[in-house]
Structure 1
Amino acid sequence: MKHFTKLAVAAVVAAITASASLAQELYTPNLAYRTGPFAATGIPLMNGQADYLNMLNARDGGIGGVPVNAEECETGYSTEKGVECYEKTKGTAIVTQPWSTGITLQVLPKTNVDEIPLLAPGYGFSPMMDGKTFQWAYNAPAGYWDAADMIIQYLESQGDLKGKKIVHLHLDHPFGKEPLPVLEALAEEKGFELVPIPVGLKEMQNQSAQWLQIRRERPDYVIMWGWGAMNAGAITEAVKTKFPMENFVGVWWSGHDADLAIAGQDAKGYKSISWSFPNADAPVMAAIKEHVVDKGNSKSNEEEMSGVFYGRGIIISAILAEGITAAQKHFETAEITAPQLRWGLENIDMSEARIKELGLEGMVPPFKTTCANHTGNSGGWMLEWDGEKFVKASELLTANTEGYASIVAEKAQEYADANQPWAVNGDCSE
């Protein structure tokens, strides 16, 4: 598009508008979890996602003039229900949003056969970064291996890690185990001891055994890969055992305001890496208020809307919308297909200028996807709980992707070999 003349650009817009008059909808089902053990974290995320797309529908008539149908299929974060939702919605969907690493791993091979893009922003299977191998899967703007690398970078900025002990407190679930390959490699490289401590699904709210082990281990730092009730349980135990909160760092799904609010000032100093940040003054928030909240069409509330997870939901839907927009322009049609959205999702250019144009200033770092890189590796900020809210505690951190590029290649190849026949994108050169 950048090489088009103004006249050609106008022609594309006209073509999209003309086709939109005949279009029905863009079906982008969301495998939501407003119920179950992780509902407290799922609800603000789903509300943010829904409100952004509802705003586009109300203000712009959708995307490219086509209304978006972001119907939710409730999974309760159950892998079995998630697969059922995928099968139920895949018929006319242009995308699937699994919302669980477990569900992602189950539907990933299906999407490669069904040729439906799988969008898992900031979660899922980290080797999906390899777009040549995982041509239908996207985890932009950052993956779990990015998070692990950035957390270790931040801790290293506080002092040499050689000889230190770091506990990896994690949900005993594919999500919690996902960063281990990179954390183990970094432990060997930097000379620190990594101590994995799992938390079972039935232990999330009572982690006394895990924190007894942490007291015995006397680690220098605890890194938490927690979700839902596990986060609040861990923070409560950390306060109770007087673990220094400034040495307690979570992944971005362990940085939910409501979890920290339970401990309030006692949790001051706790940190969480994040590729999103809430900005109440961002123009997008005013647009959502005008077109959705004031019309009585939001399930959210003022307190929730000021939090990290609601804002992250907005960013997730904005990423999807950018992929749709890119595809519409490239294929000169408003009602795109799933294969066309695949192209759009690997040609997202979320530059500083585009972020400003979308009214998302300060809410997400710039990133760009390609056919070879489906993550984008935006980087993230270290956020810190100040006793009442999360504030930025660092400049933008960026992952050293070269440091684990060989692991990405190795794990991607292992996956392809184990799931033969596995179609790859042989036309992708960069």
Structure 2
Amino acid sequence: MIHFKRLATAVALGALAAGGALAQEISAPNLSYRTGPFAATGIPVMNGQIDYFTMLNERDGGIGGVKVNFYECETGYNTEKGVECYEKTKSDAIVTQPWSTGITLQVLPKSNVDEIPILAPGYGFSAMADGSVFKWAFNLPSSYWDAASMILKGLGGDDMSGLEGKKIAFLHLDHPFGKEPLPYLEKKAEDVGFELVPIPVGLKEMQNQSAQWLQIRRERPDYVVMWGWGAMNVGALTEAVKTRYPMDQFVGVWWSGHSDDLQVVGEDGKGYRSISFNAPVENAPVMDDIKEFVVDTGKTQSDEEQRSEVFYQRGLVMSAALAEAIAAAQTHFETDVIDASQLRWGLENIEMTEERIAELGMTGMVPPFSTSCSDHTGHSGGWLLEWDGEKFVKASDHLMADAEDIEPLEKQKAQEYAEANAPWPTQDCEM
């Protein structure tokens, strides 16, 4: 395995030769949510994220000889608290991770002023993929529109023709997160010829969805697609079992594929699927390093079961992408302690090839992807994961989103956003 310190040897040796101190650190705050109604979802991901940087700090002395201070500011998934955390942490931050589509939308206009990149891996406003409009925002490796596209392909075939004449209930959190895929889903419903039935779930209804599932029983949809998070997932799964809805016709976004949620229904949840841009690989080499440098030294908040699951390993993948961007920026700018602007360049130049993923010890955990000035998502694609009664397993080949439909929609919605928030600075990605 190639370690980060070896990747940035030239940078580190140059600083040493010049008598530079390598004791400085890189500040990378995470606007976490370990409390509140979504804590069950947030905790394993946050554990995976912080454990990856702890491993780098312990194993390699950080990245390029500089330790990363990956610390958390608790938001409870509350938008107001999230904005407070952003303001509190931005003074020395090279990045902000809002961890909520609502918080992301509030922070997005600030990014142009504060010039701090927003990293929203697998969430946020899908049009942030358009780097020419959203210079400071990144939602790699896959967006919510990507997720919706992959789900439809998984259900209806690559051309989605199998969905013609079908009815799809869209059970979603009544929140910016839950509404995000609607522009794409509405377009595809019209293009393909299926009926889309949006069924919102309010924050106060997450644990008692009897009204929503009564509507589902009346509508008799061919499929239920869920955009749920935290307590909403358990509520929906419990109602699906109670009403005997066929689990093989029930599919969720990647935040609706948490092992703990499915364990509540156990064998009754068998056949349920979720789309995911990562897959759990228990024997991946990176897991050995996590055990040696983080677990065995008592520096983790996770347990053995959690570390084998999708969400914890998703946190590892997310932090690996950020670490790759930091390393790329260090090398490009020939400096060990990078600033926010330099990280922005690094985030535009991530190259997660199959070879690099293998070097990171993550083969099979994430598909290859790359970013650029114009593409701030990378559109990695993903897999459908299926609950086998005890755990999630891969249930599809690698799926790719429908770029022909998504790219024009990204540009359209990005331009609409820029016009609505004028004057909005853009960058020329053709240079």
Where on the TM-score scale, by shorter chain, does this alignment land: which range?
Answer: over 0.9
What do the CA deviations read for 1:261-296 (whole angstroms, capped 9, x no partner)?
Answer: 110000000000000111111111000100010001
Which of residues 178, 182, 185 is equivalent to 1:183? 185
Instruction: Tell me, in whole angstroms, the C-alpha distance in 1 between the residues paired with 2:163 and 2:340.
Output: 46
Query: Which residue pairs with 1:398 in the alignment?
Result: 400
Asked if 1 retains the 8 angstrom alpha-carbon contact of 2:281 and 2:364, the reply is yes
Is 1:276 matched with 2:278?
Answer: yes
Is 1:93 matched with 2:93?
Answer: yes
Which of residues 239, 243, 246 is equivalent to 2:245? 243
Query: Which residue pairs with 1:5 in the alignment?
Result: none
Asked if 2 retains the 8 angstrom alpha-carbon contact of 1:23 and 1:335, the reply is no
Three-state SS of the structure 2 residue aligned to 1:237 is helix
Query: Which residue pairs with 1:58 in the alignment?
Result: 58
Query: Which residue pairs with 1:15 in the alignment?
Result: 14
Query: Which residue pairs with 2:324 in the alignment?
Result: 322
Query: Which residue pairs with 1:4 in the alignment?
Result: none
Is 1:356 matched with 2:358?
Answer: yes
Instruction: Tell me, in whole angstroms, the C-alpha distance in 1 between the residues paired with 2:84 and 2:93.
Output: 14
Instruction: Tell me, in whole angstroms, the C-alpha distance in 2 between the residues paired with 1:356 and 1:406.
Output: 33
Cα 1:81–1:295 shift into 2, 3 Å: same
Three-state SS of the structure 2 residue aligned to 1:383 is strand
- Stretch moving more, 384-393 or 10-19: 10-19
Q: TM-score, normalised by structure 2?
A: 0.96
Query: Which residue pairs with 2:422 in the alignment?
Result: 420
Shift of 1:12: 4.7
Identical aligned residues as a percent: 69
The alignment of Structure 1 onto Structure 2 pairs a total of residues equal to 422
Shift of 1:15: 2.6
Shift of 1:194: 0.2
Letter in 1 for 2:140: A
What do the CA deviations read for 1:38-58 (whole angstroms, capped 9, x no partner)?
Answer: 000100000000100000000
Letter in 2 for 1:183: L
Aligned alpha-carbon RMSD (Å): 1.5
Aligned residue runs from structure 1 range 289-328, under 5 A: 289-328=291-330
Shift of 1:21: 2.9
Aligned residue runs from structure 1 range 5-404, under 5 A: 11-12=10-11, 14-15=13-14, 21-157=21-157, 160-404=162-406
What do the CA deviations read for 1:107-155 (whole angstroms, capped 9, x no partner)?
Answer: 0110111000000000000000000100100000000000011100111
Asked if 2 retains the 8 angstrom alpha-carbon contact of 1:16 and 1:328, the reply is no
Cα 1:264–1:115 shift into 2, 3 Å: same
- Stretch moving more, 397-406 or 180-189: 397-406
Shift of 1:22: 4.0
What do the CA deviations read for 1:158-177 (whole angstroms, capped 9, x no partner)?
Answer: 97211110000000000000
Instruction: Tell me, in whole angstroms, the C-alpha distance in 2 between the residues paired with 1:80 and 1:327.
Output: 32
Three-state SS of the structure 1 residue aligned to 2:162 is coil
Asked if 2 retains the 8 angstrom alpha-carbon contact of 1:13 and 1:329, the reply is no
Gaps (5+ residues) in structure 1?
A: 1-8
Cα 1:336–1:264 shift into 2, 3 Å: same
Shift of 1:14: 2.9
Letter in 2 for 1:76: G
Gaps (5+ residues) in structure 2?
A: 1-7
Cα 1:211–1:249 shift into 2, 3 Å: same
Cα 1:417–1:17 shift into 2, 3 Å: farther
